[in-house]
């Protein structure tokens, strides 16, 4: 853990803030064969607000905290969205239609 914190200060924060969105952008292209600028830019926007929030609170390790909290934010957001839209039921029905009456 200490190595990661020390390492973060020797690497540009901009680089650290662009690694995750860029890798996600590449992964989406490989998996879905589509590129979405909105999906790419949403993480840096959340980084911006979290970074400002941690800076105003005079927190330690702002960069690492921002990176971690951004991932938690999207995890909670996507979980709540999936729950609200009832994805499990919708995907179960889609699977049943695609593969017949097999158990989903």
pLDDT digits (tens, 9 = 90+) for 7-33: 555 788 889 999 999 999 999 999 999
CA distance 31 to 16: 23
Domain spans, the chain: 2-99
Residue 61 burial (CB count, 10 A): 14
pLDDT digits (tens, 9 = 90+) for 54-93: 999 999 999 999 999 999 999 999 999 998 988 888 888 8
The pTM (predicted TM-score) of the whole model is: 0.73
CA distance 104 to 100: 10
Count of all residues that appear for the chain in the document? 104
| Burial class (CB within 10 angstroms; exposed 0-12, middle 13-18, buried 19+) of 28 | middle
């Amino acid at each position: 853990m200490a190595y990661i914190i020390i390492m973060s200060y020797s690497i540009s924060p901009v680089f650290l803030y662009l690694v995750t969105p860029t890798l996600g952008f590449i992964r989406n292209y490989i998996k879905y064969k589509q590129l979405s600028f909105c999906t790419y830019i949403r993480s840096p926007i959340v980084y911006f607000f979290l970074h400002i929030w941690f800076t105003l609170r005079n927190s330690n390790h702002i960069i690492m905290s921002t990176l971690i909290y951004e991932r938690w934010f999207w995890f909670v957001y996507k979980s709540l969205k999936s729950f609200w839209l009832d994805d499990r039921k919708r995907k179960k029905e889609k699977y049943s239609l695609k593969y017949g009456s097999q158990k989903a």
